Structure 1
Amino acid sequence: MSIQFCSGKGRGLLLLSELLKDWPCQVLGGIHIDVKGVTEHSTRIGEGYLFVARKGGKTDGICYVDEAVRRGACGIVIDRNNGIEKAGDLNIPVIIVPDCRKFISYASARLAGNPSERMTIVAVTGTNGKTTVTHLASQLLQKLNLKTAVIGTTGVFIEGCQMATTYPEMTTLPPEYFHQLLKDLEDAGVSHVLLEASSMGLATSRLAHCKIDIGVFLNIGIDHYEEHGGQQSYLDSKKILTDLAGILIANSEDEICCKLVEETKIPVHYFDYRTICGVPIDEKLFSIQLPGRHNRMNVIAALSVLRVLGFELEDIFPYTVSLQLPEGRLQSIHKDGVTVYIDYAHTPDALENVLAALAEEQQGKLITVFGCGGDRDHGKRPKMGEVASRYSSEIIITSDNPRSENPVQIIEEVLQGISKKETVRVQIDRRKAIHEAIALAVAGDVVLIAGKGHEKTQHTKEGIHPFSDFEVASDVLQKRPVV
């Protein structure tokens, strides 16, 4: 589609006094000024913007107050006393709030006109499957003539078409972008929004002032522990969704999901391999073309969303056979009897789900190419190695997104989990690893390239470089001589 969404456009104006009237704060200076926008990035400041000088993990927003003022900031927001002296020398209001993160969420929603209150919002959380479930639910709703949007890891989609946007590439957008995007979607006629609620997005209050109609818990595995400071903090972040949603849907086969929702006071509906919201699945009507047990569960989760929205299963089942996976989820390329799959699997559970699905169907060798991301959980690396060695005939361990880490060190940690060392090759260069894997394959073999899926870049110590597993594999397979 030709629609282009640009962050920051089309905002309304609010008097500062009106914006603050329902928010606990102390104001130093006048409050009868117009506010056009709010941001925590000094480079995005324009005339009439509030600058939220939040203390981050690496930098302190107080250090950028002067720049924000030069750019036209109409007020400074802080949440700690040590910033008052610095900000107090300015000739613009200083607003002291209890929590900068929650204030920017509140203010962003108000300035965008609280669009979530007029839309149906479904937020999906889980270690694996968020992207797939949001896209599947969107496809089903489209079949029922509802205009839908998906917001998540792979971007912003309206009715299955990806939108050109200037928003950051993040699973769950920061509120200063998120609420304006909802307003853009509302203006485009979207009634239902399916969004991914990441653990970090929940923990940092990015969804704090979004009216969420349905919250979905898919599964809980190993991921992001180090970013959150441990497993319990990761679980606590997921649990935040139980306080934000009006109704919950949970996977009854996942013990941790059940524990996260068990104390909530709001309605909870459950799904499993054979039931949707307590209703047994009629296998004569239910048909899908997507491989693997995990994808059946993803479809059932999507169907549960529609059931909770009030649709009858008998009216939805005819559409399940046409469901398609999103980009980078078991995306396949074929030539001369060799099949190459590209998948985003980057956790032990996700890699096992995909390998188990492929192992069931393939007749020849199963060749797996994967690595692990840098500056992320070290604990999952040997576990992914163990999973790969359990299912694969041949393994090539390579770089994923090493970021600031030495890729050799990452690979050594993955190797710790592999018992059958004779089946393993190491090739740090991901492009060469893909080439080697496809060169190993003969007719009937399957090659899985896991970890990056839809991504179009690779993050290394030297910077961010263009790189697409799908494009590289397509090129290599096309040029591969007939065996």
Structure 2
Amino acid sequence: MLHVTELLKDWPCTVTGGQLWSQVTGITERAATVEKGFIFVARKGKRQNGANYIEEAIRRGAIAIVVDRPSLSELPVDVPIITVPDCSKFISHASARLAGDPSERLTVIAVTGTNGKTTVTHFIGQLLARVGIRCAVIGTIGVFIDGCQVEYECPEMTTLPSEYLHPLLAYCESLGVTHVVLEASSIGLANSRLAHCHIDIGLLLNIGQDHYEEHGGRAAYIAAKQRLLHQANAVVVNQDDEQCRLMAEASGRPAVHFGITSMIGSSTDSILRELAIPGDYNKMNAIAAVSALIVLGYSENDIVPHIRTLELPEGRLQRLEQDGIQVYIDYAHTPDALEAVLQTLSTRCYGKLITVFGCGGERDKGKRAEMGELAVRYSSLVFITSDNPRNEDPALIVEDIKEGFGGDCSTVEAVLDRKDAIRQAIFRAAPGDIVLIAGKGHEKYQQTATGVLPFSDVVEAERALSEKTHEGKAEETRGK
């Protein structure tokens, strides 16, 4: 536990009003989570302005308010108002200090890229466990230690806010974890969530189209990703992605490169022979994971025997099968990811490839038409449906997707109810067909204008397969 003055030491700031000798019990930018002894950071976000919640934070027990707008420094409150240049960087700094700077003692590997972050982090975690390392993986689908998911109260976000991340790292350390692998999203990097996390290895996988609108354009999106290259002690970069190569060169940092045709030290042939998971993109994911371990000091002889044991995380090419019909649930929600999955399944399909997908609301409208064109190109039948429409009209999102193939197509049906779309796709499938349900993967909810609703592609697919089987048996009985 630290005093306010200790958190402000050597940090540029001005203070008005109140006393600074109180002990700090926590820090947060969410007024609803303030407890007695907390510092409240009144950051202005895209949707919420923390200044609107200062009075609530004080009522709940805040002992100081941090702002980055001088106009707020004279508010008539009875606690200190601390004005700093950047609220996001201050909460990152203070969260790390209050947690005891656990990242300084842990080996931290951060993985960024448009696609593949979850798979690569879990591959690294699995390989580290195989060589005897106690490892935690933190990212989109939760918190895992030695491959087992652990319950930890934190938001469902790819990269956790600093106020949650550093206490979690301290918790992992208390359990004997020595290595942490985490996903570094562009939003997380841009918002300085990792600014005071000591990162030993930064891994850059690829650059595709996602979150452009949230960042204000492609250049800002790339700049956010590039922050990791400047922050990590060692940088590992995909040489097969031209944009990644350019980013590594622009950073001025020495980088280790990996790719399908070459890798640190030797050929990738042995790795590719051992990998039992389909898809060229998963070959690249495996090579990226192996590269991280080699940078840590392990040899290929240490790693290659464990390649065959690698398993995809939940919602990544997750396979169900019944009565000769295969159903794959995948998180693919960008053009590159959708095309990679469609290419992989098209080579394994002996019947029709039926695709169910949509696009998220309030996210990159520019990718919708491209994903529509890709779905039609590879599929025999496409059901366009809702993904997470948020506050957008699902019907208008569908119209944007349709622009990718000219608006009308005999092999495309629009079914806005995602549950119904999944059911129709599976009921139209015959033995030998493959149904791909893309976009949501592991998610257990759907974000709509009326709120967040429970929803699982896996559960709905299992239900539809069961209903289809029962209907088929009932028809057989009637026929007899």
Displacement, 1:85? 1.7
Number of residue pairs matched? 469
Structure 1 residue 193 and structure 2 residue 156: aligned? no
Displacement, 1:32? 2.0
Displacement, 1:278? 4.9
- C-alpha contact 2:270 2:304 (8 A) present in aligned 1: no
| Matches of 1:22 and 1:242, distance apart in 2 | 26
Specify the alignment match of 1:57 in structure 2.
Answer: 46
The amino acid of 1:143's aligned partner reads R
Specify the alignment match of 1:5 in structure 2.
Answer: none
TM-score, normalised relative to structure 2: 0.96
The amino acid of 1:17's aligned partner reads T
| Matches of 1:285 and 1:451, distance apart in 2 | 27
Report the secondary structure of 1:449's partner residue. Answer: strand
| Matches of 2:127 and 2:445, distance apart in 1 | 31
| Matches of 1:59 and 1:369, distance apart in 2 | 34
Structure 1 residue 101 and structure 2 residue 83: aligned? no
| Matches of 1:320 and 1:215, distance apart in 2 | 22
Instruction: Please list every run of 5 or more consecutive structure 1 residues that lacks an aligned counterpart in the other structure.
Output: 1-12
Give the alignment partner of residue 213 of structure 1, picking from 200, 203, 210.
200
Specify the alignment match of 2:219 in structure 1.
Answer: 232
Displacement, 1:281? 1.9
Report the secondary structure of 2:40's partner residue. Answer: strand
| Matches of 1:183 and 1:132, distance apart in 2 | 24
Give the alignment partner of residue 42 of structure 1, picking from 18, 22, 31.
31
Render the CA deviation track for 1:306-327: whole Å, top value 9, x for unaligned: 0100000122101101110000
For residues 46-445 of structure 1, the aligned pairs below 5 Å read 46-86=35-75, 89-283=76-270, 286-418=273-405, 421-445=409-433
Report the secondary structure of 1:58's partner residue. Answer: coil
Q: Between the two proteins, what is the percent identity of the paired residues?
A: 54
Q: 1:172 to 1:148 in 2, by over 3 A?
A: same
Specify the alignment match of 1:474 in structure 2.
Answer: 462
Give the alignment partner of residue 20 of structure 2, picking from 7, 28, 31.
31
Displacement, 1:63? 1.9
| Matches of 2:115 and 2:300, distance apart in 1 | 25
- C-alpha contact 1:52 1:78 (8 A) present in aligned 2: yes
Q: 1:284 to 1:116 in 2, by over 3 A?
A: closer
Q: 1:27 to 1:427 in 2, by over 3 A?
A: same
Render the CA deviation track for 1:57-98: whole Å, top value 9, x for unaligned: 233222221111111111111111110121xx2222221111
| Matches of 2:225 and 2:268, distance apart in 1 | 28
Structure 1 residue 14 and structure 2 residue 2: aligned? yes
| Matches of 1:55 and 1:361, distance apart in 2 | 49
Choose 419-428 or 187-196, whichever is displaced more.
419-428
For residues 450-461 of structure 1, the aligned pairs below 5 Å read 450-461=438-449
- C-alpha contact 1:398 1:428 (8 A) present in aligned 2: yes
| Matches of 2:434 and 2:69, distance apart in 1 | 56
| Matches of 2:56 and 2:129, distance apart in 1 | 46
The amino acid of 2:162's aligned partner reads P
The amino acid of 1:20's aligned partner reads L
Render the CA deviation track for 1:397-440: whole Å, top value 9, x for unaligned: 11111110111100011111125811111111111111111111
| Matches of 1:203 and 1:178, distance apart in 2 | 16
- C-alpha contact 1:286 1:317 (8 A) present in aligned 2: no
Report the secondary structure of 2:165's partner residue. Answer: helix
Q: 1:314 to 1:83 in 2, by over 3 A?
A: same
Choose 149-158 or 22-31, whichever is displaced more.
22-31
